[in-house]
Structure formats: C-alpha cells, structure tokens
C-alpha cells in the first residue's frame, strides 16, 4: 500500500517509511492510498468470530500487502491479548470498554501494535541502527507508548509531558520504567510538548544525528489499529441483536480514535452515524457548526487526555471526506456533518454526567467516558442504539472520580504495581533549542 501526505507536497511512501517517519516531509499526515471495503460475507458472520480473528481481517486489508501474513497475524494476536467487552449501561446505551490493556487506557492497542510493527521492519532491514521514538503526551499516550515499547530491542522512547498537568497515576506509568524509556518533563502545556516533537522531526541536523520517529496518533501504525475496536463492538452488538441503527460515540482529543472508526466505516462497517464527544476544547464541535476550523490554545479540563486545541487528525478527516481535496470545503463539510455530530461539555457537565450515570445505573464513568455517555443521553433518537467508548479505567483518575462520586474506586493490581516504582524524569523548557541540544548530546 502506498501512503500519501495530507499536504500533498511530500513523496509517496510505503508502509515502512510511513511508520518510521511518522509525519511526512511536508508536515502532512500519511493516508493510505485506498481503503479496501471488506466483503459482505465478513459482516454476515462477524458475530461468530473472536476479537483477534476480526482484527486480523481488518489488519490484513490495511497492512496485508506490506507485512508477511504469519508475521501480521502474530503482531495482531500479540497486541490483542486482552478483551474489549461491550457492557450494557441502560436500555439503549452500551459502553465499549477499551481499558483492559496493560496501562488501562485504549491507547495500549495502537501503541503495542506500532511497537511490534516497527520491530518487524527493523528486523527486516537488519541494519541495527537504533530508532528513537518521540512522543508527546497529555497523559495516556505516554504510558501506553512507554509500556508498548518497553524492552523492545533497537528502539529508545522519549516521552514528553507537561509538568504538573498529568495525574500522579498517569505520571508513574511512564516515569518509573527505566530501560529504553526516558521521561521528559516539559515546563509548558501539552501543545508545547507536541510542538517540540514536531520541530524535532523537521530539524535537519537532528535527523542527521539520530533516526527519529513519532508514536503519536499521527503515526499510521498507531491510529489505524484502533479500527479493530469498532468491528469488534459491531460484532458483539450483532450477537445481542442490537446492531441496527447503531451510533458510535467516541470521546475525542487528537481525533485518532474516531478517525480509525471512520476508516472502519469506509471499509464498510455498518454504523449509522458517529458522535465526537469533546470536553471544553470545542474546536471540532465549532467546525461542525460553522464549517470553519479555528485551532485554539488547549484548555485544561477534568478529562485531560482530551485537552487538545489543534487536533492532529482533523487533517485526516478532511482529507478522507474531501477525497483528497477533490471536493470543495462546503461539500466536505456537508458530508462530514451528515455522518458525524459533535458535543462539548464543561467540567461541571462532566461531573453531573458521572453522578447521574452512577446513581441511575451503578456504572462508574471516568471523566473522558462521561463525555461519551452524556452525548448519547442527549443525542440518541428512539430507534437508535448507542455505544460509547470508555477510554480509560476510572482508577486512572481515581482522585477525581472518588471526589465527584463520593466513592473509593478500587485500584487494579496492574496499576498499583506502577505506583511502587521510583520517578525518574529529565526537566526541559518549552524552548526547542534546549530540547535539540539535549537530543544532540544523547
């Protein structure tokens, strides 16, 4: 499969190059040249298949041309060593629990898949040159990427995170690992971390010095595997006889997760429509209302993994529905709004949604999932069934959840183990010159 850049000014890349480079030379995002529709027979019997079987079929459509079949199967099966169950919350609302992986957040799947795929390509190449992964995180990406890549030969990971703006539990998940993982504590906000990473990729001297790649959801190997979830959710809903008029609702920040769902839709996944649920960072919501995309500085909220003021994957969504720029902005906007609606919630509304859900159903939401739940409560039509993603385990935001709901959320053993480690991190300013100097001395 060939990958082109959303900015249209970079050379076409193969999968290996797209994964290693992350971002194209023109700062655009890589897009697969075609999206193969899956055959009708696949959907006819999908409910009889396991998550791993379903995921392999989806992965084969995206990556089958570039990765040897047995190796791809192994990558998929290794990545999905845990389940993503669908749980009924009330009459017509279900949740897709994406938090049963090693770090209890949905990014585990993309991160681990990318680590395995990169390792596959490094081994195929056989040059033994170290690859350095740079990743900016507002909380959950860092832990998922660090754990996905931990101990993988030939790859070193630098996690950049905003000082004081990630939860203590999140922080210990990527600052206590050591080995091939370095945590960098940036005196700034998430967007500063993201800007440092983007500048590093564009810096010729740095790229001479070391081989750099990104593991943010701009990387095709990280965001695309998230499509697996939605096929699995559809299968499980079909098994329950609830797959008609399905609405998928995705709490969104950088829009990688929902973008993968939309790629799934383009492969033929029978979902009626999608909702992108946001916290107070309402850039996409405003785009849907006005047709204008106006990035802003990110705002800090209770759902901090979604505090993004300029969502990277917006460019992919526009590219997908404009058919690589062939349709006008008006037509593109019209296509997008006919399939996707938006919602935006203040911290107070998030708290209320968490309380209302807990009282009415007993289900404990985390602040991110709460946006998804609330968007379905407000947005579902009587003949529709809704599935929202619960993107993190509530224990990852224990202080907030306990306070809001007046309960004591149990901390799973996996999470407790991280909290025993010792924090190690390198302080950094948000000035690119400092970061560059640091990397040049590594």
Ligand X SMILES: *Cc1c(COP(=O)(O)O)cnc(C)c1O
Least separation in angstroms between residue 383's CB and ligand X is 28
For residues 243 and 350, which CB has a smaller minimum distance to ligand X in the complex? Answer: 350
Which CB atom, from 253 or from 309, has the smaller least distance to ligand X? 253
Contacts for 430 with CB less than 8 Å, ≥ 6 apart = 186, 187, 188, 192, 193, 195, 196
Nearer to ligand X, 101 or 251 (CB): 251
Instruction: For the CB of residue 420, give the shortest distance to ligand X in the complex, in Å.
Output: 23
Q: How far is the CB of 247 from ligand X (least distance, A)?
A: 17
CB of 171 to ligand X, least distance (A): 14
- Reference 222, options 12, 20, 394; nearest CA is 20
Q: How far is the CB of 252 from ligand X (least distance, A)?
A: 4
Least distance (Å) from ligand X to the CB of residue 278?
9
Of residues 10 and 306, the one with the C-beta less far from ligand X: 306
Q: What string of DSSP letters covers 94-152?
A: EEEE---STTSBTHHHHHHHHHHHHHHHHHHH---PPEEEEEE-SSHHHHHHHHHHTT-
Q: Select from 259, 253, 243 the least CA-distant residue to 35.
A: 259
Tokens 């390792």, residue located: 119
Nearer to ligand X, 46 or 105 (CB): 105
Contact between residue 380 and residue 386 where contact means Cβ atoms under 8 Å apart? yes
- What DSSP character marks residue 239? H
Q: Which is nearer to ligand X, 67 or 101 (CB)?
A: 101
Residue whose CB is less far from ligand X, 148 or 256: 256
Alpha carbon of residue 305 to chain centroid = 10
Using CA atoms, how far apart are residues 39 and 269, in angstroms rounded to an integer? 10
CB 182 within 8 A of CB 426: yes
C-beta of 313: minimal distance to ligand X in Å? 7
- The token pair at 440 is 């040049």
Write out the DSSP string of 368-410: HHHHHHHHHHHH--TT-EEEEEE-B-GGGGHHHHHHHHTS-PP
Residue nearest to ligand X (CB): 140
How far apart CA 203 and CA 209 sit, in angstroms, is 10
Select 317 or 380, whichever has its Cβ closest to ligand X: 317
Q: Which is nearer to ligand X, 120 or 314 (CB)?
A: 314
CB closer to ligand X out of 367 and 386: 367
**In the complex, minimum distance from the CB of residue 409 to ligand X, in angstroms, rounded to a whole number:** 15
Which stretch of DSSP H or E encloses residue 213?
strand 211-214
Rounded-to-integer distance, Cα 301 and Cα 48, Å = 41
Distance CA 46, CA 40 (A): 10
Residues paired with residue 87 on neighbouring β-strands, in sequence order: 95
At its nearest, how many Å lie between ligand X and the CB of residue 76? 20
Nearer to ligand X, 107 or 112 (CB): 107
CA dihedral 214, 217, 220, 226 (to 10 degrees): 140
Would you state the structure tokens that stand for residue 344, as one six-digit string?
């935006």
Q: Cα 442 vs. chain centroid, distance in angstroms?
A: 29
- Residues in the site for ligand X, rule: CB under 6 A? 105, 107, 140-141, 217, 251-257, 305-306, 368, 391-392
Report, in Å, the least distance between residue 410 CB and ligand X.
18
Query: Which two three-digit tokens encode residue 378?
Result: 């407000």
Smallest distance from ligand X to CB 336, Å:
16
């Amino acid at each position: 499969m060939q990958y082109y850049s959303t900015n249209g000014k970079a050379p076409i890349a193969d999968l290996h190059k797209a994964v290693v480079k992350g971002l194209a030379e023109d700062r655009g995002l890589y897009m697969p040249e075609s999206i193969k529709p899956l055959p009708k027979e696949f959907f006819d019997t999908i409910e009889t298949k396991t998550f791993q079987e379903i995921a392999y079929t989806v992965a084969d459509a995206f990556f089958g041309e570039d990765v040897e079949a047995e190796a791809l199967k192994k990558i998929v099966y290794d990545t999905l060593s845990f389940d993503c169950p669908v749980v009924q919350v009330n009459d017509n609302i279900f949740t897709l629990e994406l938090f049963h992986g090693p770090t209890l957040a949905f990014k585990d799947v993309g991160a681990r898949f990318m680590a395995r795929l990169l390792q596959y390509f490094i081994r195929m190449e056989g040059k033994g040159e170290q690859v350095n992964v740079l990743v900016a995180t507002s909380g959950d990406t860092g832990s998922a990427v660090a754990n996905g890549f931990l101990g993988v030969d030939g790859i070193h990971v630098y996690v950049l995170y905003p000082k004081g703006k990630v939860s203590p539990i999140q922080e210990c998940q990527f600052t206590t690992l050591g080995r091939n993982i370095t945590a960098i504590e940036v005196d700034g906000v998430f967007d500063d971390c993201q800007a440092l990473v983007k500048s590093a990729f564009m810096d010729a001297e740095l790229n001479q010095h070391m081989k750099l790649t990104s593991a943010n959801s701009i990387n095709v190997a990280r965001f695309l595997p998230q499509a697996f979830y939605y096929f699995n959710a559809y299968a499980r809903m079909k098994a329950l006889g609830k797959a008609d008029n399905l609405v998928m609702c995705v709490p969104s920040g950088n829009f990688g997760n929902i973008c993968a769902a939309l790629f799934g839709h383009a492969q033929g996944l029978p979902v009626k429509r999608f909702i992108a649920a946001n916290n107070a960072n309402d850039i996409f919501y405003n785009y849907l209302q006005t047709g204008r995309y106006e990035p802003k500085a990110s705002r800090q909220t209770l759902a901090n993994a979604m505090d993004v003021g300029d969502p990277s994957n917006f460019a992919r969504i526009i590219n997908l529905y404009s058919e690589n720029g062939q349709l006008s902005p008006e037509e593109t906007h019209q296509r997008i709004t006919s399939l996707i609606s938006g919602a935006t919630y203040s911290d107070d509304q998030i708290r209320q949604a968490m309380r209302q859900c807990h009282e009415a159903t007993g289900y404990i939401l985390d602040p991110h999932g709460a946006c998804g739940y609330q968007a379905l409560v407000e947005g579902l039509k009587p003949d529709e069934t809704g599935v929202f993603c619960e993107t993190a385990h509530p224990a990852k935001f224990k202080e907030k959840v306990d306070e809001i709901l007046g309960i004591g959320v149990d901390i799973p053993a996996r999470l407790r183990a991280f909290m025993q480690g010792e924090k190690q991190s390198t302080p950094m300013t948000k000035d690119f010159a400092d970061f560059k100097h640091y990397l040049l001395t590594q």
